[in-house]
Structure 1
């Protein structure tokens, strides 16, 4: 009986052994505090569920170095093996993505992908050369420590930071930048099966060939935080917030613009708290809004409007200022140009309508009677009564005697008395 039980147990052992779990998350976009928190929660969840490993499917142009350091630290201290898989085909691990990929216990790439520090020069202008040199040296030391820890190509890692080199998945495999190239996640799990991985808690032997893969998606709250952490979205939210509050001040009883404006500003300032904001740029944008408002109140022949446009453009360009050229955080030129054009057109359109209204002929009130045609009710000798717009008015003739029933034209208004002249109709 015992022998039969042991035999049955041996038969079922492969089934139980194969029932392993692997967690998989996707990071597609810039590296920011939201994506760093998502990766951290993925590592924690993998540890809690005793998963064989955590796969991070990575596709990023880069991001903030501060968030990158947090992610790298979490990976290096992870109790479960972390596999960074640059995928799908056409994906790129740029700038911050290089640090994250090289920090992984296992680094893999899909066919037709590439890796490398894009070293983008911010569209908002060049950094001070001394500050850029310090930041680059710091980043180079950081990636050297990662490459040395993971026994990867140290020379290429530093070259990626200093010289912005970028290579394909085949070159990355040849240069020992990554461990393997795999066409799919399923094939990747077969390739890493049986590997011994050193983690902070000891050696782990991966059993992933037949593992069950659980894909974890960002929660709604995480997706919102990830979206507003984008510099373009922060900029748009800030401008919408300013517009909403300004409209509310002009129409206090409306309420809706004010509520929407405050919400947008709160979200924008939360986002900016996570971004490298240049407060001089922020001040210029606020100054531009003030100038636009003053243009509506003060006749400046367009000088205030021109100053507002210039201030808005400069402030938008300067708003996001990274500490290193390796960081990928900037506002798109298309967003800046669109915002400036829409804002300028709106305010200048209001100014144009105001000037047109000022030049328009008065159509209401006493002044609106000038030029109107009326009928004489009582003869004007030279004073009498006329009917204009169905109303009786005291009138005085400027062209001599005018008989009852004659048609007259209002030429002026003097102390509620109409001055009229006879017309032939």
Structure 2
């Protein structure tokens, strides 16, 4: 990321989340004769090096005096379709700053299938049966997940992606299923980017972590997780490689500094340390990897893996990065929800020791630090709830992973 871009993105976050956001939204509504009566930030999505997107709940006054609550989105990201219907470009005031594109949900310029996926009448028509649609997750311009509920109360999930990405996503699911890896089935794969998936079997791994496990059970569950990674098909090596989280440590340090500006130097120091340890440790061979392997993406039945979710990043990579993704995410759960994970630390210690049998201990900890650094900015909440202790706890956890890696490296140097 260029220095100019690094300097600009905190300003973009400030523009789209601070008082000046009102003038951006008002300018986008003006061509239709509408006025902005009130607004509040609902979600912030900062992709380091690729722009800032913000969702707002807004009360809009129509020319006839009617008030409506609408969901508006604004982004500084570069769009592939800047002429999309319903998109308004707002030039920066005074000619200084990035152009901002604004739209009303669900008219996302990069996700043309979103309007169908989250409008029950349109989705029912496409599927040929009556359904309800419930939004589960939405990252403007990137993806959305909608829970589809049928009249018999069964469910499936519609994943909405940019049309250029959806076919490859569906193929990854088919590749896993063909190899006997438990994953949701592709029920339909439409050219506009809507992929319908069966509901994954099992319950989230986080449930086991919340209840706690003795050492033997923790060992058996970890064996199930690594067996799953061993079963990823060799054909995944032919797919496009995605950068590991730790390989973008500098980007995530920048994002962390945006939400915790008083700790910017600490975030940068973690990124520097991650890069240094990664350069001086053995990452192991290139193998098939999941790419986003953590507790929310693994469903369990008992001690066995029942479903693997979110396979967008399946492809060639290093086993150490899948292990670090798991351990890094688990290591912040008790910052995210302390009351829910009172028994986490013994399991984490057991899993870390087992992971060392498969990966260089220094490389593992460096990458754990990089993963946790990537999670700092995500602690920020827009619902008024306290998030700063969580964000600061995540930064401290990244520092502790890094310190542990440095200590092992130092001991090696002493021999």
Report if TM-score (shorter chain) is over 0.5. Answer: no
TM-score per shorter chain, which class?
under 0.3
- Which structure would you say has the larger Rg? 1
Query: TM-score, normalising length from structure 2?
Result: 0.21
